[in-house]
């Protein structure tokens, strides 16, 4: 029996960095990736296959044009995200690759990211790229320059997508124990932006904004660690087989694990844990921050914690 539209999932989950890669206009996989996401949502038993006609019905129920749906299926096939197979009964199925193989197919050099949940219709409505980007940056305290370095999305595109997705920003400031007579020296010898003297005579500066969205919910990491391991293994195999320079560069990037350091700590315990972690490394980080309070304006004030 074919599932009725009312039985189709209202929400879908996906890995945010995988979505970022697929959402690039030059990727040619935006439709194929979304079909893969919808197929994963339909595969409630986790067997790795869905009935092809059921998947079509699900996507069409979201308002997608039939010709667009067929194009998405072709994109997913070409990208290696799905494979057609037929049951003995004659029913056609689509086999779905694992998250790791999907990440490798989409060239997720920095891993597949974290799982997020979003309304299924939000992945087909205009502005879906902006919502995927907003889902990734939600909850992060990070500058636009660092975002560009992390996911290769230009600053102008970030602003456009934040506006399109209705992303909210909360300002953050650091108040230090440095007296105001050192303001000029701080301005000339550090990279702190927007430095100023507070009314009570100390130096403060602007920190990266915190961005949030109501259109997506952050979930756990799921099987991201296992998937990222698969990506590294596949990249190594391709490198050893002597394929293209692009694959070699990709492999080299994937094999560099990023050791996470929490610069902005919400509690004293988090700050102490970060200090212990940094004490065991040769990290160039010389200062971290601890959340102090929220100002009447809605901005968050962070305590500056220089490291010895």
Helices 155-165, 128-137: crossing angle, 10 deg rounding:
100
In angstroms, the CA 73 to CA 289 distance is: 47
| Residue 159 near residue 128 (C-beta atoms within 8 A) | no
In angstroms, the CA 144 to CA 37 distance is: 28
| Residue 76 near residue 70 (C-beta atoms within 8 A) | no
Low-confidence ranges of the chain (pLDDT < 50): 1-3, 245-246, 248-258
| Residue 304 near residue 172 (C-beta atoms within 8 A) | no
In angstroms, the CA 34 to CA 38 distance is: 6
Burial of 121 (0-12, 13-18, 19+ CB in 10 A): middle
Nearest by Cα to 138 from 211, 208, 220, 221:
211
**Residue 169 dihedral angles phi and psi, to the nearest 5°:** -125, 140
| Residue 83 near residue 39 (C-beta atoms within 8 A) | no
User: What is the model's pLDDT at position 255?
Assistant: 41
> Residue 66, CB half-sphere, CA atoms under 13 Å: how many?
2
| Residue 144 near residue 169 (C-beta atoms within 8 A) | no
Question: What is the value of pTM for the model shown?
Answer: 0.84
| Residue 216 near residue 131 (C-beta atoms within 8 A) | yes
pLDDT in tens, 247-301: 544 444 444 444 567 889 999 999 999 999 998 888 888 899 999 999 989 999 9
């Amino acid at each position: 029996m074919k599932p009725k539209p009312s039985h189709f999932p209202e929400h879908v989950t996906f890995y945010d960095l995988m979505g970022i890669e697929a959402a690039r206009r030059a990727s040619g996989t935006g439709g194929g990736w979304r079909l893969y996401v919808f197929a994963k949502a339909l595969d409630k038993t986790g067997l790795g296959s869905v009935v092809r006609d059921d998947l079509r019905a699900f996507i069409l129920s979201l308002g997608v044009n039939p010709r667009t749906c067929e194009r998405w299926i072709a994109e997913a096939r070409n990208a290696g995200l799905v494979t057609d197979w037929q049951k003995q009964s004659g029913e056609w199925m689509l086999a779905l690759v694992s998250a790791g193989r999907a990440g490798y197919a989409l060239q997720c050099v920095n891993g597949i990211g974290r799982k997020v949940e979003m309304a299924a219709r939000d992945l087909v409505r205009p502005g879906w790229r902006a919502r995927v980007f907003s889902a990734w940056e939600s909850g992060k305290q990070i500058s636009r320059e660092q975002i560009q370095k992390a996911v290769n999305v230009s600053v102008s595109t970030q602003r456009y997508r934040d506006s399109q997705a209705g992303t909210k920003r909360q300002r953050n400031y650091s108040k230090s124990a440095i007296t105001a007579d050192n303001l000029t020296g701080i301005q000339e010898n550090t990279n702190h932006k927007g430095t100023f003297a507070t009314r009570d005579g100390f130096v403060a500066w602007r920190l990266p904004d915190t961005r949030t969205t109501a259109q997506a919910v952050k979930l756990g990491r799921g099987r991201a660690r296992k998937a990222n391991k698969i990506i590294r293994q596949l990249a190594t195999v391709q490198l050893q087989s002597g394929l293209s320079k692009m694959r070699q560069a990709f492999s080299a990037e994937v094999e560099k694990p990023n050791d996470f350091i929490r610069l902005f700590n919400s509690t004293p315990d988090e700050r102490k844990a970060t200090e212990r972690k940094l004490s065991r490394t040769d990290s160039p980080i010389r200062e971290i921050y601890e959340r102090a309070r929220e100002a009447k304006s809605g901005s968050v004030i962070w305590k500056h914690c220089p490291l010895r």
